[in-house]
Amino acid sequence: MPDAYILGIESSCDETAAAVVRSGEQLISNVVASQIATHQPYGGVVPELASREHLRAIVPVVRQALAEARHTYESVDAIAVTQGPGLAGALLVGISYAKALAFALDKPLIAVNHLEGHIHAVLLEERQKGNHDLRFPVLALVVSGGHTHLYLAAEKDGAWTYENIGHTRDDAAGEAFDKVAKLLGLGYPGGPVVDRLATHGDAKAVKFAPAQIKHPDRRGRNDGRGVPVGSDRPRFDFSYSGIKTAILRYVESHHLQPAVEARRRALVAIAKPKLEDYLANCDQLTLDLVASFQRAIVNDLVTRTLAAAEEYNVATIFVTGGVAANHELRQTFERKAAEQGRPVYFPSRPLSTDNAAMIAAAAYPKFLEKDFAALDFSAEAGMLLR
Ligand code: KG4
Ligand code: ZN
């Protein structure tokens, strides 16, 4: 099979990214322009600003990815782009540019689901390490700012299919990290800050009741967005809005608001706060709260995922998406999955968070199948993965 060099483009949320990947197994270049500085003052992603920043960054980012790969627009074999899920305006920037390139260059265009991209980040790196004998069934936990999904992933004759067996009923895990960091005055995005501060607190200090999901999904058996799905197979849903409310109550009952406000003001005044800056502005009570929060989320993600792994008797576990960068999550998964005798694979940290290498990697099986997108396809903000 001849090599295929695919240019991937990703603009679904707050990162403009482009990458060149050879045949889904070798990362040739990977460029990510983060918009964190733009959104930071608002404590979260502002969709209009995201679109504007993507417009500004898309051409230089693609040029840089090609240059670093020693490729040209003409020398790549196909162009892959994220179709959804994500912010509609942000997705449209990447899609419009990818379409224009594909049309002008007369190259195949491949539309990729962002969540499938996260799963293929793991595959790309395992292949790159020489691990070609992946054992099925695979259970993939996609855990990011917008999603907490469990998929059974299968490959048949080169084509991948996915069955959703769990999703969050309310907040995604990454969203909980972001919201809790915001309400503790730690800024945006919350995950990386909480990750670093958690080792300085006592994770047993504050107890949170584990999320109880007793009632069946009120929206019926669906994919999380109200679209019915057929199967009656066991489900493993998540819920993270309760813990966020518990933290809010804790802040109120311990009269922490003045300290939170002082911390927020102090950190906003520092252009790029370092660990010492965060520590200098956090008392032990807050560090204990942060550590206990992270422990609760990590234990919940690991327990539910491993219960699903047991139920479906999977051979391999993938953990991917922005929250997969979390140190405690990785360590806990590794320890507990080993007890079950199941291998667990993560992407490297740079490929856990949003990037375009994962989009180019997920596009490769579609390239082989000639599963190309028509030039009139559009963004799908609520796109499902099947
Ligand atoms: O996959 P991603 O880059 O974008 C989405 O598709 O949403 O994930 C971003 C999310 C954010 O919520 C961020 O706080 C979280 O991933 N995150 C982390 C860490 N790094 C990023 N959460 C916990 N620990 C981390 N080290
Ligand atoms: Zn993502």
Q: Quick check: 40 pLDDT over 90?
A: no
From the CB of 144, is ligand 1 less than 6 Å away?
yes
pLDDT tens digits for 148-196? 999 999 999 889 999 999 999 999 999 999 999 999 999 999 999 999 9
Question: For residue 285, which amino acid is it?
Answer: L
The pLDDT value recorded for residue 211 is: 83
Alpha helices in the chain (DSSP H): 36-39, 47-68, 88-105, 114-128, 173-183, 190-198, 241-253, 257-268, 275-280, 284-311, 327-340, 349-352, 357-368
pLDDT by residue (tens digit) across 235-288? 999 999 999 999 999 999 999 999 999 999 999 999 889 999 999 999 999 999
Neighbours of 315 (CB within 10 A): 15
- Whether 354 contacts 322, CB under 8 Å: yes
Which pairing describes strands 15-22 and 5-10: parallel, antiparallel, or unpaired? Answer: antiparallel
Interatomic CA distance for residues 249 and 375, integer angstroms: 51
pLDDT at 218: 55
Closest of 173, 193, 149, 259 to residue 43, by C-alpha: 193
177 lines ligand 1 (CB under 6 A): yes
3-class SS of residue 137: coil
- CA dist 189 and 294 (Å) reads 15
Q: Which of 177, 186, 197, 294 to mutate to test the pocket of ligand 1 (most atoms within 8 A of CB)?
A: 177
- Checking 70-74 for CB contacts under 8 A at 24+ apart, the result is 71/5, 71/7, 71/20, 71/28, 71/29, 73/101, 73/105, 74/105
Predicted model pTM: 0.95
The length of the chain is: 386
Does residue 321 have its Cβ closer than 6 Å to ligand 1? yes
Q: What type of residue sits at position 104?
A: A
Q: Which residue has the tokens 């009120």?
A: 218
pLDDT band with cut points at 50, 70 and 90 for residue 2: confident
Asked if the model's pLDDT at residue 310 lies above 70, the reply is yes
**Of 85-99, 199-213, 248-262, which range is least confident?**
199-213
Structure letter (DSSP) for residue 222: B
Ligand 1 contacts CB of residue 10 (under 6 A): no
Q: Note the pLDDT tens digit of each residue in 213-239.
A: 866 665 555 555 555 555 689 999 999
Q: Which amino acid is at 381?
A: A
| 172-185 per-position pLDDT tens digit | 999 999 999 999 99
3-class secondary structure, 147: coil
SS (H, E, C) 28-40: EEEEEEECHHHHH
> How many angstroms separate the alpha carbon of residue 323 from the centre of ligand 1?
4
